[in-house]
Amino acid sequence: MFEYLVSEPEVQSGKPAPLLLMFHGYGSSKEDLFGLSTHLDTRFRVISIQGPDRIDESGLTIGFSWFPIYMTEQGIGYDQKTAEQIIPRVHDFILAMAKEYNAQDVFLLGFSQGAMVCHAVLLAYPKLLRGVAALSGRASHLFDKTYRLDYLKDFPLFVSHGVHDDIIPIDSGRQIRDFYQKTPVNLDYQEYSMGHEINMDCLKDLQRWAKDRLDVF
């Protein structure tokens, strides 16, 4: 089980609230994205999850991650098998939270490394989810596998990236765009004049996307 924070929905509809599970980036924590909960649709019950791996420096924990990374001459690297080991654990956590809160509709939101987790969960367990927002991530290690694309038909997917991102370059975002454009997902892909971050324009589009998804229920 992961550590997590919960923000209860402000709007009560008489039925179980949809869950929005948040996955932070490398070196951050469950507190990082949790602040977004006040800016998103108040019908959500937000669960901000903390990666299980501690990042220590000089004996102090400076953050958390979903899997280890390392630096190469080409940029950030990671072991694919190690990265994939987190996905079944996330799957089980989603099922546990859905059961605990009697939720029928589960959404994921991830930033950077958290977005990578979201892409992997979506492609492995598409029937488990109702929508995914993946911000400033990468997913190239997933593209050479075979998936049940019929399960992705009309699936709501929001993907964003900064054209000035010097951590995960914009090419990664465009690779994700190109991959999903060949599938039947309902893709909302956006680029912004920003770095490795979530700026106000991105937040506004994310708010719109989330509201539109809940309005159809």
Instruction: Read off the pLDDT of each residue in 108-115 and give the average, rounded to a whole number.
Output: 98
The residue with tokens 């280890």 is 68
pLDDT band at 71 (very low <50, low <70, confident <90, very high): confident
Average pLDDT of span 173-194: 97
How far is it, in rounded angstroms, from Cα 60 to Cα 138? 28
Nearest by Cα to 112 from 76, 61, 74, 82: 76
Q: What angle do CA 46, 64, 28 make, to 5 degrees?
A: 60
The rounded distance, in Å, linking the Cα atoms of 77 and 212 is 36
Q: Please give the structure tokens belonging to residue 128.
A: 């488990």
Instruction: Convert the pLDDT of each residue in 23-65 to its tens digit.
Output: 999 999 999 999 999 999 999 999 999 999 999 887 777 899 9
pLDDT band of 67, cuts 50, 70, 90:
very high
pLDDT at position 200 is 98
Are 86 and 53 in contact, with CB atoms under 8 Å apart?
no
Domains in the chain with CATH codes: 4-215 (3.40.50.1820)
pTM, whole model, 2 decimals? 0.94
